[in-house]
A and B are shown apart, each in its own frame.
Chain A
Amino acid sequence: MIRPETEAELAEAVASAEEPLRIVGGGTRPVGQPVEGVALSVAGLAGVELYEPGALTLVVRAGTPLAEVERVLAAEGQRLAFEPMDHRGLLGTGGDPTIGGVVAANVSGPRRIQAGACRDALIGVRFIDGRGQVVRNGGRVMKNVTGYDLVKLMAGSRGTLGVLTEVAFKVLPAPESAATLTLHVEDSGQAFDAMTRAMKSPCEVSGAAWVPGARAVHLRLEGFSGSVGYRTGRLTDLLRDLGEVTVETGAEANAALWRAIRDAEALTDHPYVWRVSMAPGAMRAGFMADLDRTARFDRLVDWAGGLCWIGMTEAQAAEYAPRYGADDAASGAIRFHRDLQEAMVDPELGGGHATLVKGPAALRAEVTVFQPEPAPLAALARGLRAQFDPRGILNPGLMG
């Protein structure tokens, strides 16, 4: 493994690379097509460059552990609003997630629906392109339209266009208090009704999830305590006819509940896990019903119905296989993955995308992990890679 300690060393490592590189932050999120290459670790580039709480601005080196970032922010009563998921439980990985890894995979959590994704909070990057050049884009101010927004392009590009060395964020104050309203629901109709109603209200819901296993819809409110109290009352009134609402205001209990949703803890033991993003209405109308008809796999619904986690056991995968004339779990998983991605482009279902988040390397090598893009976008993606990484050495093949 190559482990540079400075940006200049990292640039040199890329410039002089003679074979493909597998870019690693904390190594906790092995999502995507498996990459063959020499590991290039960014973890040596760590530390806070600049933190101005009064300007809501944080600039850190990409290899800084996420935990360190969160600690620094918490000391000033602030946080990363996008609530990045910790993949270690779900994927069974170890190590320390880095902030660069969070950005590279554009990792966001339940608060995505209110506070935006990682890419929305990201205001600046420095990265090394495939030629070994240092490139800067954005900066440390939150309003900036100078030139193209390569900041957003780098978020979620998973190290295929460049190796991040520094990232800058708009951070937000952590709220004084939080409350979670929990509604007992019997079916998906009731669950979607509750989440949709809450999101259409001006209550500024910062988390809306349905845990089918617990028959519960959870709705989170955050802010000053008076305001949270007021909105709790208003939202309870709004949902009263759907069932009984209980309210949790304990800080620890709230944190644990939303951490479990964020990290898809309910699916930790499943060997195969997918993540489906659709419009909530489309998810409710077509997708859930389809899924109920074909296979009652375990689910967890977040983002007010816009995100569905699907977990499949070995037995369920084996059960899925016969409809395609096979009898092994691996074939079942492959078939289900293809059916899922085909459903995303079915015009009757309204569009979306499905990603295989967890599965054995053999499966990930066999399928398109990320939703295939329409041909013109796929061509543009190849064009960008050819421009930013002409030798094809940065995480080649990871995104297709």
Chain B
Amino acid sequence: MDMPVPNAAVIAKKDHVVARLKAVLPDDAVIHDPAETRAYECDALTVYRCPPLAAVLPSSTEEVAAVLRICHEEGVPVVPRGSGTSLAGGAMPTADSVILGVARLNAVLDVDYDNRVIRVQTGRTNLSVTGAVEEEGFFYAPDPSSQLACAIAGNIAMNSGGAHCLKYGVTTNNLLGVTLVLMDGTVVEVGGAYLDSGGYDWLGLICGSEGQLGVVTEATLRILPKPEGARPVLMGFESSEVAGACVADIIKAGVLPVAIEFMDRPCIRATEAFAGAGYPDCEALLIVEVEGSPAEIDEQLGVICQIARRHDPVELRESRSAEESARIWLGRKSAFGAMGQINDYMCLDGTIPVSSLPMVLRRIGEMSKAYGLDVANVFHAGDGNMHPLILFDANKPGDLERCEAFGADILKLCVEVGGCLTGEHGVGIEKRDLMDVQFGPADIEAQLRVKDVFDPQWLLNPAKVFPLEATAARRAG
């Protein structure tokens, strides 16, 4: 993975920059000792590492603004960081950059049940947002699988999704307002506890911009009353074509499950060996979950099971209790852990039109043979968001490179069938150089122009999202 050559002039004035940062932040909020900056050398994409020039941990919007103003004046690149759980390298530093971590900005500022909103500082973790409102029977809907650790700041930067977005949408659909600090230190209030301002959709533009347009320090999020209950049904099929047709029929019948999860045979076998959830050994397994009162759940599961039976399932197991539900989810939830035990793996995140599922799985199978690397597929089938897990051995020379080439081929396939490179993880550095597979020059140029408006010097997270050669002239200033 290429990263830009660090700016030697910036590295040379490290002491000066650190002194200026220390003048506006408490001593323990400026980390510059090389032994300590190592802690920020990567995020959850751990194969690429580079310690930053320094890391700062501001505790208020004012401190964030002061840091950005200094870095802007000094021409120092800034890499914003939530909890560092990005799988795409979104928070990966360069040697000439300052990491701006929002971890100390973790307060709940206001909970307003009557208006069904919560205002938080964005270093707060995703799950603890729900934690702050669940006693009153509310929850925050986006639920990325890293939700125990990941910060709302990162969720906003990457427009994170989760297993339940078929019904509740992703971050952008649940975000009502932000406090945004621009690279020059300007603090801007966008939106609030109300809907749809008359001007441009700033929230929509900021959400998913991977920390390149500004640093979000506070957010107003929509919270929802918790449904009375939820129950899944598990179904096994002898081919992915049949499973795909079953998903389409469920959706066409007017049922909108909260989650439709798909696993293929390699994934089923690995998780069975690991967790013993009692899954059938078949080509394709679906877990479909619906919500509501017990009677409403029965009504929806009745429709779903009737459709499933028309597709001759090898197994159809409707949960009747909390224990049975947990057992059905056990294998799916341990899928990544199961893979990790077998091998190193790379988790992809492309999205495809649901109708292409059988063809895409067949092609992935063929590529797997050609590359000599095993792959297991986990899939949010309702929305087409695939998570193929490619197994490789990091200690074997050449395996990582082969794995990356295989991954790139799968993502190109996703684009070829009408899908996209990333459904919820973001581009970061990982998929940066594949952007021109999905976009033409004019499509990319339009996005670069947006960054020109927000960050004319290209100092915020500059080496991410776009192919380096496309941004070279702009980054050079």
- A201 to B159, alpha carbons, bound, how many Å? 27
Q: Looking at the assembled complex, report how far the CB atom of B287 sits from the nearest CB atom of chain A, in whole angstroms.
A: 18
Q: B173 touching A116 by the CB < 8 A rule? A: yes
- Cross-chain contact A146 with B435 (CB below 8 angstroms): yes
Give chain A nearest CB distance to B218 CB in angstroms.
14
Q: Establish whether residues A374 and B255, one from each chain, have CB atoms under 8 Å apart when the complex forms.
A: no
Q: How far is the CA of A152 from the CA of B466 in the complex (A)?
A: 19
A141 surroundings in chain B (CB, below 8 A): 351-353, 383-385, 418-420, 423
| Central interface residue in B114, B225, B228, B385, by most chain A CB within 10 Å | B114
> Which of A55, A120, A152 is in CB contact (< 8 Å) with B248?
A55
Contact at B353–A140, with CB atoms within 8 Å?
yes
Within 8 A of B (CB), among A107-146: 108, 112-113, 116-117, 119-120, 129, 133-137, 139-146
> Please, which residues of chain A bring their CB within 8 A of the CB of B204?
119, 149, 151-153, 155
Instruction: Provide the bound-state CA to CA distance between A77 and B248, in Å.
Output: 14
Q: Report B-chain residues with C-beta under 8 Å of the C-beta of A380.
A: 202, 453-454
A47 CB–B CB distance under 8 Å: no
Contact B198 A370 (CB under 8 A): yes
B208 touches A172 (CB 8 A): no
Q: Which residues of B contact A258 (CB under 8 A)?
A: none
> Which residues of the partner chain B approach A136 to less than 8 Å between Cβ atoms?
439-440, 443
Which of B261-269, B288-296, B359-367 contacts its partner?
A: B288-296
Which residues of B162-182 have CB atoms within 8 Å of chain A's CB atoms? 165, 169-170, 172-173, 182
Task: Count B-side interface residues using an 8 Å CB cutoff.
Answer: 95
Beyond A54-B355, A352-B192, whether A277 also contacts B197 by CB under 8 A is yes
List residues 380-405 of chain B with CB under 8 A from any CB of chain A: 380, 383-385
Taken together as a complex, chains A and B put the C-alpha atoms of A148 and B200 apart, in Å, by: 15
B446 lies within 8 A of chain A by Cβ: yes
Residue of B nearest to A372 (CB): B199
Among residues of B, the one whose C-beta sits closest to the C-beta of A371 is B198
Are B194 and A120 closer than 8 Å at their CB atoms? Answer: no
Q: Which of A222-230, A320-328, A332-340 lies at the interface? A: A222-230
B256:A173 contact, CB within 8 angstroms: yes
Q: Which residue of B lies closest to A276 (CB)?
A: B194
CB-CB contacts below 8 Å: B428-465 with A: 431, 435, 438-440, 442-447, 449-454, 465
Which residue of B182, B201, B256, B445 is within 8 Å of A106 (Cβ)?
B201
Residues of A within 8 A of B465 (CB): 147-148
Contacts of A133 in B (CB 8 A): 442, 445-446
- Nearest A residue to B423 via CB reads A143
Chain A residues whose C-beta falls within 8 Å of the C-beta of B450 in the assembled complex: 148, 150, 153, 384, 387
Name the segment of A60-68, A183-191, A239-247, A279-287 touching the other chain: A279-287
Closest to A205 in B: B225
- The answer on a CB contact under 8 Å between B446 and A145 is no
CA distance A56 to B115 in the complex (A): 30
Question: Is A397 part of the contact surface with B, judged by Cβ < 8 Å?
Answer: no
Least Cβ–Cβ distance between A129 and chain B, in angstroms:
7
Given A227, A303, A376, which contacts B195 in the complex, CB threshold below 8 Å? A303
Question: Is A353 part of the binding interface, using a Cβ–Cβ cutoff of 8 Å?
Answer: yes
The residue from A56, A350, A376 contacting B193, defined by CB atoms under 8 A apart: A350
Q: Which of A206-258 contact B (CB under 8 A)?
A: 223-224, 226-227, 230-231, 234
C-alpha spacing A232/B248, complex, angstroms: 30
CB-defined interface of A376-388 with B at 8 Å, one 1/0 digit per residue? 1100110110111
- How far in angstroms is the closest Cβ of chain B from A25? 19
- Which residues from chain A contact B201 at a C-beta distance below 8 Å? 106, 119, 152-153, 155-157
Bound complex: CA of A162 vs CA of B448, how far in Å?
Answer: 16
A56 nearest in chain B by CB position: B251
Q: How large is the interface on A (under 10, 10 to 19, 20 to 34, 35 or more residues)?
A: 35 or more
Nearest chain-A residue to B190 (Cβ)? Answer: A377
Interface string of B135-170 (1 = CB under 8 A from A): 001000000000000000000001101000100011
Of A226, A279, A373, the residue contacting B296 (CB under 8 A) is A226
Convert A296-318 into 0s and 1s, putting 1 for each residue whose CB lies closer than 8 angstroms to a CB of B: 00000001001100000000000
Known contacts A142-B383, A149-B172; A173 and B200 CB within 8 A of each other: no
- Complex partner residue of A55 from B173, B251, B449, CB under 8 angstroms: B251
Task: Give Cα distance in the complex from A227 to B303, angstroms.
Answer: 13
- A149, A351, A355: which has the most chain B beta carbons within 10 Å? A149
Q: Which residues of B contact A146 (CB under 8 A)?
A: 420-422, 427, 431, 435, 438-439
**Chain A minimum-CB-distance residue to B186:** A376
Is A91 positioned at the interface, with any CB of B under 8 Å from its CB?
no
Residues of chain A within 8 A of B194, CB atoms compared: 277-279, 282, 306, 351-353
Q: Is B425 in contact with chain A by the CB < 8 A criterion?
A: yes
The answer to whether the Cβ of A331 comes within 8 Å of any Cβ in the partner chain is no
How far, in whole Å, are A139 and B350 apart by their CA atoms in the complex?
Answer: 13
A399 proximal to B (CB < 8 A): yes
State in angstroms the CA–CA spacing of A147 and B466 once bound together.
8
Contact with B along A68-89 (1 / 0, CB 8 A): 0000000011000000000000
Residues in A neighbouring B170, C-beta threshold 8 A: 143, 145
A227→B425 CA distance, assembly (Å): 35
Q: Which residues of A contact B369 (CB under 8 A)?
A: none
A108→B256 contact, CB < 8 A? no
Q: A119-B201, A141-B383, A141-B419 are in contact. Are A55 and B296 (CB under 8 A)?
A: no
A150: which B residues are within 8 A, CB to CB? Answer: 205, 446-447, 450
Determine whether A53 belongs to the interface, using a CB cutoff of 8 Å to chain B: yes
> Given contacts A54-B248, A136-B439, A376-B186, are A117 and B256 in contact (CB under 8 A)?
no
Say yes or no for A95: interface residue by CB 8 A criterion. Answer: no
| B252 within 8 A of partner (CB) | yes
Most buried by B among A144, A153, A282: A144
The smallest C-beta distance from B123 to any residue of chain A, in angstroms, reads 21
A55-B251, A139-B418, A172-B256 known; A371 vs B197 contact (CB < 8 Å): yes
B207 at the A/B interface (Cβ < 8 Å)? yes
Say if the beta carbon of B477 comes within 8 Å of chain A.
no
Q: Shortest CB–CB separation between residue B451 and chain A, in angstroms?
A: 8
Cross-chain contact A279 with B115 (CB below 8 angstroms): yes
B48 sits at the interface (CB 8 A):
no
Quick check: B295 and A381 within 8 Å, CB to CB? no
Residues of A within 8 A of B161 (CB): 143, 145
7 smallest CB-CB distances across A and B, nearest first, come from A152-B204, A54-B248, A279-B193, A173-B254, A383-B453, A370-B198, A143-B423
New A-B pairs, 20, CB < 8 Å, besides A231-B296, A281-B193, A380-B202: A52-B353, A54-B249, A54-B252, A106-B196, A108-B196, A116-B173, A140-B353, A141-B384, A145-B422, A146-B420, A149-B205, A149-B209, A224-B300, A279-B115, A306-B195, A351-B194, A374-B188, A380-B453, A380-B454, A386-B453
CB-defined A-B contacts under 8 Å, sample of 18: A116-B169, A119-B196, A135-B442, A135-B443, A139-B419, A145-B425, A148-B450, A150-B447, A227-B300, A280-B115, A303-B195, A306-B194, A352-B192, A353-B198, A374-B189, A377-B202, A384-B200, A399-B199
